């Protein structure tokens, strides 16, 4: 195996802390992103990607594929303005012997390459240098290893360009292989727990989908993903500490997926009506916010509390014209009412942060998507409407942030339109 020629200084305390952190992350997408970051940090890799295994069923049979889920590159990140994220190509590769990641998954073993441009001619796999050619990045060393549980492959991590203390690119060492092999065990356990959490959430969403065909796994995944992008930029602007940000974005992603779960309590006659709702029907539809929040009234965790908050407030308007207003979701009683006895709408920063975020994410995805009562809007129409709703439906700060992170939101829309389990 390649040697770096440098005595490794493995920070085992750092590894133990990372393993503990991974065990606390509940959402699989947040977890995958963090697993990749930790793996890179452990061995000082400049870049890397994480893939998940997904079986694709076609007319001629089933094909096992690896789908990229996150990619990170410190060198290219430094070229971007502070707070801005990189997008990365979305692609998949078959689990076979032709690509490095595919070969790693197929054989179930670590692949350590000193120089990607000098792979032995007798190797069955090859290096696709198109990314390097397109971006000017130079990939040299790589270490690719599987994440598997009881011989069941979950995914693959590929790390690129290990650097030494002086910043020079060096090969990955045998010590790196050993440490990452053990790290993969912790990552696998964390992924299994997060997949169970995701499966339970998807089951709840499928119940809502039976009632409301618009409430699909792809839709809620996209809304949750947009919400995290909006929050990340907001957190950067407001100097939110990293630990606080990590916890909130994990809870936010789960809570955002459950934003409309209260629709399970609304009648089919209303949910599946192809035309415009009457005033009475619309009032009944509004009750889904209260029904959804009431599902989490026996809060056992921070994610329960945030899910309740989002379900209740993501239809409140910045100008106070939204719903359901000042209502206690546990009792259904009006907390604050107007002269006619109707609940007063929450406005401005009376609306919790998570509710203001999910409002933007939900409306954007709804406008972009075809529904029984409408066609998908064009991008030009959607963006014009988002601007028009600033200060009315939406917090103006989050409309500004929306346009700042629009490339990442478009990237997330493409990623989660694949409708993968993760």
In a domain, 201, yes or no: no
Tell me the two tokens of residue 10. 């493995």
- pLDDT digits over 167-191, tens only? 999 999 999 999 999 999 999 999 9
In a domain, 55, yes or no: yes
∠ Cα 26 71 420 (to 5°): 55
Structural domain of 305? 212-416
The whole-number pLDDT of residue 381 equals 97
Q: What is the DSSP letter of 160?
A: E
Residue 345 per-residue DSSP state: P
Q: Are residues 19 and 124 in the same domain?
A: yes
43 band by pLDDT with thresholds 50, 70 and 90: very high
When pLDDT is averaged across residues 223-245 and rounded to a whole number, the result is 97
Is residue 33 assigned to a domain? yes
Q: What pLDDT does residue 352 have?
A: 98
Q: Reply yes or no on whether the pLDDT at 415 is more than 60.
A: yes
Min mean pLDDT across 49-53, 118-122, 268-272, 376-380 is at 268-272
Show the CA angle centred on residue 41, arms to residues 105 and 152, nearest 5°.
Answer: 25
Asked if residue 18 is part of any domain, the answer here is yes
* Shared domain check, 282 and 216: yes
- At residue 21 the predicted structure's pLDDT band, cuts being 50, 70 and 90, is confident
Are 117 and 87 members of one domain?
A: yes
Segment among 107-116, 166-175, 206-215, 225-234 with least mean pLDDT: 206-215
d(CA 116, CA 2): 13
Do 343 and 243 reside in the same domain of the chain?
A: yes
Lowest model confidence (mean pLDDT) among 14-28, 225-239, 296-310: 14-28
DSSP 106-152: HHTS-EEES-GGG--TT-S-B---HHHHHH------EEEEEEEETTE
Residues 70-88 have a mean pLDDT of: 94
Consecutive H or E run containing 210: helix 174-211
What pLDDT score was predicted for residue 408? 96
- Whether 131 and 224 share a structural domain: no
Instruction: Kindly report the average pLDDT of the chain as a whole number.
Output: 90
284 and 174 share one domain:
no
> Could you tell me if residue 357 is inside a domain?
yes
Average pLDDT over residues 363-369: 94
pLDDT at 329: 84
Residues of the chain above pLDDT 70, percent: 93
Domain count, the chain: 2
User: Are 49 and 144 members of one domain?
Assistant: yes
284 shares its domain with 384:
yes
248 and 144 both lie in a single domain: no
Residue 61 has pLDDT above 80, yes or no: no
* Segment 118-147 mean pLDDT: 94
Domain boundary among 194, 227, 245: 194
Residue 422 lies in a domain: no
Identify the pLDDT of residue 373. Answer: 67
Residue 146 has pLDDT above 50, yes or no: yes
Q: Are residues 252 and 149 in the same domain?
A: no
What's the pLDDT at 372?
65
Mutual orientation of helices 12-22 and 28-43 as an angle, nearest 10°? Answer: 170
Instruction: Residue 291: give its domain's CATH number.
Output: 1.10.3210.10
- The pLDDT, as a whole number, for residue 260 is 92
Same domain? 243 vs 174: no
Predicted structure pTM score: 0.90
Q: How confident is the model at residue 271 (pLDDT cuts 50, 70, 90)?
A: confident
Instruction: Mark 297-308 as b/e (b = at least 16 C-beta within 10 Å).
Output: eeeeeebbebbb
């Amino acid at each position: 195996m390649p040697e770096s020629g440098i005595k490794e200084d493995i920070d085992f305390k750092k590894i133990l802390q990372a393993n503990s952190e991974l065990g606390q992350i509940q959402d699989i997408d947040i977890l995958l992103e963090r697993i990749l970051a930790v793996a890179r940090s452990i061995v000082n890799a400049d870049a890397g990607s994480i893939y998940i295994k997904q079986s694709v069923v076609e007319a001629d049979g089933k094909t096992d594929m690896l789908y990229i889920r996150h990619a990170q590159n410190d060198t290219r990140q430094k070229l971007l303005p502070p707070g801005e994220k990189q997008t990365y190509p979305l692609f998949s590769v078959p689990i076979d012997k032709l690509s490095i990641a595919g070969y790693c998954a197929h054989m179930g073993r670590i692949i350590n390459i000193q120089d990607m441009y000098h792979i032995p001619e007798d190797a069955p796999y090859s290096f696709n240098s198109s990314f390097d050619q397109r971006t000017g990045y130079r990939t040299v060393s790589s270490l690719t290893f599987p994440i598997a549980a009881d011989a069941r492959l979950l995914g693959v991590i590929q790390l690129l360009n290990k650097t030494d203390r002086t910043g020079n690119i060096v090969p990955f060492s045998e010590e790196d292989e050993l440490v990452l092999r053990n790290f993969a065990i912790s990552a696998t356990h964390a992924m299994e727990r997060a997949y169970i959490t995701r499966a339970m959430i998807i089951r709840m969403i499928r119940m809502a989908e039976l009632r409301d065909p618009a409430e699909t796994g792809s839709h809620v995944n996209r809304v949750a993903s947009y919400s995290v992008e909006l929050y990340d930029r907001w957190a950067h602007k407001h100097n939110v500490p990293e630990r606080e940000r990590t916890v909130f974005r994990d809870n936010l992603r789960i809570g955002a997926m459950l934003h409309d779960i209260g629709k399970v309590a609304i009648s089919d006659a209303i949910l599946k009506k192809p035309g415009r709702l009457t005033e009475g029907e619309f009032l009944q539809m509004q009750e889904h916010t209260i029904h959804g929040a009431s599902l989490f009234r026996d809060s056992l965790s921070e994610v329960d509390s945030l899910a309740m908050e989002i379900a209740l407030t993501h239809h409140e308007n910045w100008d106070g014209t939204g719903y359901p207003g000042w209502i206690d979701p546990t009792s259904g009683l009006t907390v604050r009412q107007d002269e006619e006895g109707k609940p007063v709408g929450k406005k401005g920063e009376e609306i919790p942060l998570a509710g203001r975020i999910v409002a933007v994410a939900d409306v954007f995805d709804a406008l972009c998507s075809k529904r029984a009562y409408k066609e998908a809007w064009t991008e030009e129409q959607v963006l014009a409407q988002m601007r028009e709703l600033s200060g009315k439906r939406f917090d103006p700060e989050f409309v500004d942030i929306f346009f700042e992170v629009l490339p990442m939101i478009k990237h997330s829309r493409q990623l989660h339109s694949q409708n993968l389990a993760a």
